[in-house]
Amino acid sequence: MAIKNATLYLEKLRSNERSVTEKGLPTVGEIVDEYRKAVTELELQPISVTSSINALLNVISLARNCDKEKARELPITLLNSDLIAAYWKAATSENRTTAASRLNKAQAVFSTWALELYKRKWRLPELIEFRTAPKIRRRSSDQTFKEFGVEVAGQLEWAAQQIRDVDQDIYRVYLLAARLGLRDNEIVNARGDWIEERRGKWVIAIIDRPEQPFSTKAGVQR
């Protein structure tokens, strides 16, 4: 009787352990839903979040030869080196840069900050094999910077001066892009109070403003 009771007790413990383990590991679908809800806390643009989610589901779909709905049902334990290898094999017909960019976006779903949010709700492995998988890029034959010449620069500047008299807002966009090299999303987030007068010159100051974080595509404050 003692042996029987002990056996039943141990089996109950094993059953509870399995239940906790299964509950502690979410599916890919649960992860991406949580990632979408955390867009504000992670300080990301909604379009970037959507892009990363689609990339993750596409990576899994290619590697496992399934549709996105099936990819959502899979456990995150399948995000390992085997899946990465299968993905690269399935993506051989694609441009390597495109395939690498998709993988890079997919990995963003499991950034350090995102993982910390997920761990509030689930027991999660670190997914090191998936998060740190190298992105193989094909280098172009010539990546040196090519100047477009003083004449073309003069034509651009002349055209910009004509726009200045017609639409000052467009002219400001031109200045932000031409003088500072800002990207489109950075120009959209620009603020008028970044412009200050210092020592008789008008300057743009976008640093040392903790109350106005400068968000890039990666959600990094600068």
User: Is 114 found in the same domain as 11?
Assistant: yes
Into how many domains does the chain fold?
A: 2
User: Is 36 found in the same domain as 111?
Assistant: yes
* Residue 44 CB burial class (10 angstroms; 0-12, 13-18, ≥19): buried
User: Is 181 found in the same domain as 71?
Assistant: no
Q: How far apart are CA 115 and CA 130, in angstroms?
A: 13
Domain hosting 72: range is 7-131
Residuewise pLDDT in 10s, the chain (222 residues): 888 888 887 777 666 544 444 456 899 999 999 999 988 888 888 888 999 999 999 999 999 999 999 999 999 888 998 999 999 999 888 888 888 889 999 999 998 888 888 988 888 888 888 988 876 554 545 556 667 777 888 888 888 888 888 888 888 888 888 877 777 777 777 777 777 778 888 777 665 555 555 554 444 333
From 144, 211, 209, 155, select the one nearest 178 (Cα to Cα). 155
Give me the residue label for tokens 């990576």. Answer: 59
User: Is 127 found in the same domain as 156?
Assistant: no
Give me the residue label for tokens 């085997």. Answer: 82
